[in-house]
Structures are given as C-alpha cells and as structure tokens.
Structure 1
Amino acid sequence: MQAATHPHGVMRRSDREITDRAEIDAILRSEKVMRIALVDGDTPFLVPVFFSYDGTALYFHSARSGSKIDIIKRNNKVCFEVSTGHGVIESQMACDFEARHKTVIGVGHIERVRDEAEKKRALDAIVARFTEQHFEYPEENFRATAVLRIDIDSLKGKKHGFA
C-alpha cells in the first residue's frame, strides 16, 4: 500500500503529499462517510457510504441487491475517497482561491463478507462511529444486510492549508 504503487502514479504536488501512514490512518478513522467509485462497463457510478476502517481494510454495508451490488458483481474494482478539514483558503486574486482539506484516495477490490463473525464486527464498527450504544441485530435484518470489505491495493494522502 505504498504511494509509489498507486495506479495514478507520482503525485504532482509532492509538497502536499501525506507520506506518514499514521496521518493517513487518522483521516480514515476520523470520518464517517466514504465515497466509492465503481465502473459499470464504460459508465462511472459514485456513491457515498458509511464505513469503518480496521487498519488494513474498509467495510461498508448495503442492501443485498441494487445498482451498487449489481455493478460490484460485474466489476469489483473500486476507487475510494475520504476527506476532512474542508474549507476555503481565500486570496485577493479570483484564481488563487484554494481548497483546504486532508484527503485519502485509494484503490482496491471489494469482497462480500460471508463470515458472520466478521460481518458482525464490521457492522459494530460502523455503528460505533455514530453511538456508544451496543445493539443486537434482528436476524431478519442481519440476513438482509450485505457487508462488503474493500481490500486496499494502494493509498495516497494529500493535504493543503494545514501547518
């Protein structure tokens, strides 16, 4: 998961690249929403999802059917993005405004979680991002929910506007 192996090559603005893996992990752990980009033939499909991160993989949940699941069955490759610290860096010149942000972009492949213990751990981790309450999942809901794991192939981090 080295930045140099990212399929989009070397970052043009290396002064903005986040090379510290702990800082990249902190961004992935700090946010609740991740955007995933899938490809269906020659048509892109982008969707935000609630997620969790365990240090090696990302997890999200979904209904067991629908556009996202249909696309993943045909092509399980994914690009994902998580960002934080959004803002604007103003300037006296119109074309010199810039975005303040910390962003992680990665690529990987999606696998459906079939092991019930892993599925429950992933759901618990997603729920824990929103509340300290612990829940038991009704069996019917548990069966109706798909949990998907993104096995990360590579990551890149970028920031701007932070000291």
Structure 2
Amino acid sequence: MFHKMRRKVQQLSPEETEAVLMRGTAGVLALTGDKAFPYAVPISYVYDGEHIYFHSALEGHKIDAIQRNPNASFAVIDQDEVIPEKYTTAYRSVIVFGSIRTIEDEEEKRIAVRKLALKYAPDNTEQQHNEMIDRTWERFCMLEMSIAHMTGKEGRVLTEKR
C-alpha cells in the first residue's frame, strides 16, 4: 500500500525515525482539502511513541477535512542545511501516514493535552499547566493520529558522514 523507499541506504532506522519525531517541534499535516485540493498546514505536535497528538480549534478547514476523510500524512523536517557548492542540502526528515480522530472522552483529551503542555512548557508547574488547560478547555479539541506507516530519510551528505 505504501511506496518502498527508492534509496534504501538513506533510510533511517525505526529508532532514528522515532528520535526525529520526539525532538521535532513542528511539522506539516496534509489532509484532503476542499474541491480535491490538498490542504497542508504547519502544526505543533507531540509524539508519545504510539500516536501523534495535535490540538485544534473546534471548527475550521482542518476539522472539516478530517471529518470528510480522516486519512492524513504528517511530515517533520529535522535538519535542512543548504550546501550551495554541492547544489544540495544535508537534510533529515520523517513522514508518517495514518488516520486522525477527534478525542471525545474528556479524560483522554486531558491526558493528550498534558502531553503537549509538558513538551512545549516543560519547566512549568503542574498548577500552571492545569490553569492554562482549564482556561482554554472549551475552545479547543485534541486530535490523535494513529500511525499506519512511517519512514525517515536523510540526504546523501549525512549518510556519507556515518
């Protein structure tokens, strides 16, 4: 169902792929948009080793697209250094394919949003996290991406350095 990587020597191991997802702070979520146009949106996320979580407004283009078709891809760029003299870049990236659902259960939603809070504000106290979550609770939803397939790849420049 998913394409095999053409340049296997550049493929990251599953452990390296997960490490990219763990340390990344933003990616691009690609969905089926309106009138058959793709819709790709930059978004913050958290990966917990099993799922990818995103927060969202309760309505809008992203939510409409997910309701119509929950299948998605998500790309994270870990490194992208331009090397002009070689007309290339030293890059490392990951792409994930899966399906997205809106978390409806309030306890599950709170657990997911706490994962985001801990990733993006690790030095805040439990009280600070709870205050922010409670203050915005009614205005956002949490989305969970179940992973069907993921691959990581790096450019030849990085592969040759190994």
What letter matches 1:105 in structure 2? I
Q: Structure 1 CA distance, aligned partners of 2:51 and 2:28?
A: 15
The answer to whether 1:159 aligns with 2:127 is: no
Is residue 85 of structure 1 aligned with residue 75 of structure 2? Answer: no
Tell me how many residue pairs correspond in the alignment: 152
What corresponds to 1:33 in structure 2? 26
Could you tell me which of 135, 142, 152 is aligned with 2:137? 142
CA displacement at 1:138 relative to structure 2: 5.3
Matched, 1:64 2:53: no
Q: 2:109 is matched by which residue type in structure 1?
A: K
Unmatched 5+ residue regions in structure 2?
none
Q: Secondary structure at the match of 2:120?
A: coil
Q: Give the structure-2-normalised TM-score.
A: 0.86
**TM-score after normalising by structure 1:** 0.86
Aligned counterpart, 2:118:
128
1:21 match: 14
Q: Is the 8 A contact 2:113 2:133 kept in 1?
A: no
In structure 2, relative to structure 1, the CA distance for the partners of 1:62 and 1:23 (3 Å cut) is same
The CA distance in 2 between the partners of 1:149 and 1:24, in whole Å, is 19
Q: CA offsets per residue over residues 74-115 of structure 1, 9 Å max, x none?
A: 111101101112201333xxxx41121111111100011112
Structure 1 gap segments, 5+ residues each: none
Deviates more, 1:125-134 or 1:153-162: 125-134
Q: How many percent of aligned residue pairs carry the same amino acid? A: 28
Residues 51 and 144 in structure 2, CA contact (< 8 A), matched pair in contact too: yes
Q: Which moved more, 1:113-122 or 1:38-47?
A: 113-122
Given that 2:28 and 2:75 are in contact with CA atoms closer than 8 Å, whether structure 1 keeps it comes out as: yes
Partner of 2:73, secondary structure, is: strand
The 1:138/1:123 distance shift into structure 2, 3 A limit, reads closer
**Deviation at residue 124 of structure 1 after TM alignment:** 1.6
